[in-house]
């Protein structure tokens, strides 16, 4: 299992709409993420800076960032573009983060 983390940026005042759109995430997008091997996907928001921190557990070598050519992903990007900083293709501006510490504690 591979862990991937990255950050993105919301436009000011868009946190509520961003959360609402994710609360109503499309079933076809969920299926696509699952098929890509993503077993966990969390997004956290720093309200002070409008910075999003995303984390994924992925089996295999790719994550959601590698689905750019999929029409469902492109439609989702267009749906979210007014809320986030985006690239010319409407993909979110995203910066990969380097893992510097990991600790797994399991109860038996």
22 is catalytic: yes
With beta carbons less than 8 A apart as the criterion, state whether 97 and 69 touch.
no
List 2, 3, 19, 22, catalytic entry? 22
Backbone angles phi, psi at 28, to 5 degrees: -70, -30
Distance CA 67, CA 101 (A): 27
With beta carbons less than 8 A apart as the criterion, state whether 55 and 4 touch.
yes
Which residue numbers are catalytic? Answer: 22
């Amino acid at each position: 299992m591979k862990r991937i983390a990255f950050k993105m940026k919301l436009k000011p005042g868009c946190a509520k709409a961003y959360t609402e759109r994710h609360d109503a995430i499309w079933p076809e997008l969920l299926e696509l993420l699952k098929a890509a091997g993503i077993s966990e996907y969390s997004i956290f928001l720093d309200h002070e800076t409008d910075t999003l921190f995303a984390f994924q557990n992925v089996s295999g070598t790719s994550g959601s960032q590698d689905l750019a050519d999929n029409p469902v992903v492109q439609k989702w990007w267009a749906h979210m573009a007014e809320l986030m900083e985006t690239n010319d293709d409407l993909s979110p501006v995203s910066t990969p983060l380097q893992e510097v510490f990991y600790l797994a504690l399991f109860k038996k």
